[in-house]
A and B are shown apart, each in its own frame.
Chain A
């Protein structure tokens, strides 16, 4: 899976100063075992073969690269392509990683999976894969997110997963991650923690990146085929950062391809109500790794805000922190309002309902990037998921807004 564009992380799980393993001692032996098991799986052609077979037959890969013609005309500049992860089984990129990790867990003899979820997409992907492989699945979800994403809770239950409500703190993704880690700490002998993003202690950020880099590998090949050359820009939304690292990673060695991550600006980074870890956070340790973290002056992790539950997280993968510091990638942010406007524009102009998460990337490209570029430039956006799950959020917002639809 690793396309050897970079040699990171190093043997200690570091991307420069970022990454590492800041976890309770209880799970350290499990992490060491996971590192060994993943190294062995990486070197095993049968593991790759099964992974790719399932990506093809179960997920429906490769996902198309689609020229968004009317959005391109509307922006009046660079050609805009969508990498259609929304067309995957379960409706988002999350399934790529869920399959990879579940196969690894099975290989390690672990039959019980715990996962966290924010918007519910990773929870649904985990529930789906566990049903397919006959594994037990428990998903931790903040009770506030359960309220926001009622349908996904029901989907997970239909798939045979036990959804456990987390009542601590802000009752969202951060607390769900903490609770999933506590479960793992307690049941580590038979349980694999199937983390949904490129966060957490080593080897998770590397593993999730490798499983998700199918996005960038396909996109790179497809752009070469369709446009006869590499794109000029690869753009993706960044919460924890799994779809973006998946898109970026195979392009890291292509110096001419600009990589842009779009964080959730919420009500504006300056208001403090945001989830932009890189744009509005500082270096710190959260959930097992060192990276950029939204925190207060005393190192307490702050509550974040984003209209998209999937980006509503105060940390970001350590490899993004490294890409930011080395200036290989650029990170910007987009507000709730901009994301919602881009969501509606994409519905109206393209006949595609994008996830609110992905709408952040679309907003940045349509409003700020593409119009500044000549028409021979190519921008690839990771359309990381579909927006059906966001209907209730959009409806509520329209009802509340004066003169709304």
Chain B
């Protein structure tokens, strides 16, 4: 059991706000140095948990923004080994929030499932999100992760059946990641009206916190998510904000954006 994820949600709950979980692709836009600068800045700006994208050549569950970020990170020479080094450097630099690696299964297989779990845990990663590893294929990964107290975060979708929700929740750890829409990642104008019903269906099967992602890009989205769930995941819009910032300004602009999502100025957390 990984305690740090539970603590992050608990702290947000005490402060009567949703846990904010921003996503950044490692090595985007120019190099891993961007990530090493951006992550501490968004932690300071109010991120409770940070999702780090391990780039992959064929990200099936991602929309155009994260696909392009992934492609650029790969061109910058990023690979899973470099990602693990980034996590280690972030911990050495004093980043304390839980770090999650979001990455597809093939690079993990290639690295070695057991070695990946060990290397991630050693570097200070708290959990993994593997979008192309549904629960019924995840036994080898889970077995490798358990000794290292790494949480495998389960993804559920509005299309998930009662039976799939039940079995995913039965072995879930950390929190449940609910995709707000049937589709791929990417910023959208509005949250779907059936979100509360979907989250309610999941809630029946778990006492873990629930975080909502896919299409969350503005403060008003975070506020509506807060009415039904304990966390909000923001990816594509943050990637776009970072991409549009001048090179020296990326960390600052990312922090401003994250601070805006939680409804405060960019001043560091007290």
> Given A168-B67, A300-B56, is A285 in contact with B106 using a C-beta cutoff of 8 Å?
yes
The 0/1 profile, CB within 8 Å of B marked 1, for residues 22-53 of chain A is 11111111101000000000000000000000
Closest A residue to B154 by beta carbon equals A25
B190 at interface, CB cutoff 8 A: no
Provide the main secondary structure of the chain A interface: mixed
> Given A22-B105, A24-B131, A26-B157, is A286 in contact with B110 using a C-beta cutoff of 8 Å?
no
Q: Is the CB of A24 within 8 A of B157?
A: yes
A256 at interface, CB cutoff 8 A: no
Residues in chain B near residue A22, CB distance under 8 A: 105, 132-134, 137
- Interface bracket on B: 35 or more
- Interface bracket on A: 35 or more
Residues in chain A near residue B63, CB distance under 8 A: 182
- With the chains together, A172 CA to B184 CA distance in Å? 21
Min Cβ gap A255→B in Å is 33
Q: Is the CB of B184 within 8 A of A178?
A: no
The 0/1 profile, CB within 8 Å of A marked 1, for residues 136-157 of chain B is 1100000000000000000111
A268 at interface, CB cutoff 8 A: no
Q: Is the CB of B137 within 8 A of A21?
A: yes
- With the chains together, A189 CA to B182 CA distance in Å? 9
A299 at interface, CB cutoff 8 A: yes
Closest A residue to B133 by beta carbon equals A22
Min Cβ gap B61→A in Å is 4
Q: Is the CB of B184 within 8 A of A182?
A: yes
Q: Is the CB of B107 within 8 A of A25?
A: no
Residues in chain A near residue B106, CB distance under 8 A: 284-286, 293, 295, 299-301
With a 10 A CB-CB cut-off, give which of A20, A28, A32 has the most chain B CB atoms.
Answer: A28
B79 at interface, CB cutoff 8 A: yes
> Given A168-B67, A168-B71, is A28 in contact with B182 using a C-beta cutoff of 8 Å?
no
Q: Is the CB of B107 within 8 A of A298?
A: yes
Residues in chain A near residue B108, CB distance under 8 A: 299
* Segment from B28-36, B158-166, B217-225, B241-249 that makes contact with A: B158-166
B11 at interface, CB cutoff 8 A: no
Q: Is the CB of B110 within 8 A of A295?
A: yes
A332 at interface, CB cutoff 8 A: no
B74 at interface, CB cutoff 8 A: yes
B 156-211 contacts with A by CB, 8 A: 156-161, 164, 168, 179, 182-184
Closest A residue to B68 by beta carbon equals A168
Q: Is the CB of A300 within 8 A of B74?
A: yes
Residues in chain A near residue B164, CB distance under 8 A: 25, 28-29
Residues in chain B near residue A169, CB distance under 8 A: 57-58, 71
Task: Indicate which residue in A25, A178, A300 contacts B157 across the interface (CB closer than 8 Å).
Answer: A25
A174 at interface, CB cutoff 8 A: yes
Q: Is the CB of B132 within 8 A of A188?
A: no
Q: Is the CB of B60 within 8 A of A25?
A: no
With a 10 A CB-CB cut-off, give which of B57, B80, B135 has the most chain A CB atoms.
Answer: B57
Min Cβ gap B39→A in Å is 22
Q: Is the CB of A25 within 8 A of B160?
A: yes
Residues in chain B near residue A28, CB distance under 8 A: 134, 159-160, 164
Residues in chain A near residue B159, CB distance under 8 A: 25-30, 188-189
A sample of 10 inter-chain contacts (CB < 8 A) reads: A22-B133, A24-B131, A25-B156, A25-B157, A25-B159, A25-B164, A26-B179, A178-B58, A299-B106, A300-B79
Residues of B bordering A, CB below 8 Å: 56-58, 60-61, 63, 67, 71, 74, 79-81, 105-111, 131-137, 155-161, 164, 168, 179, 182-184
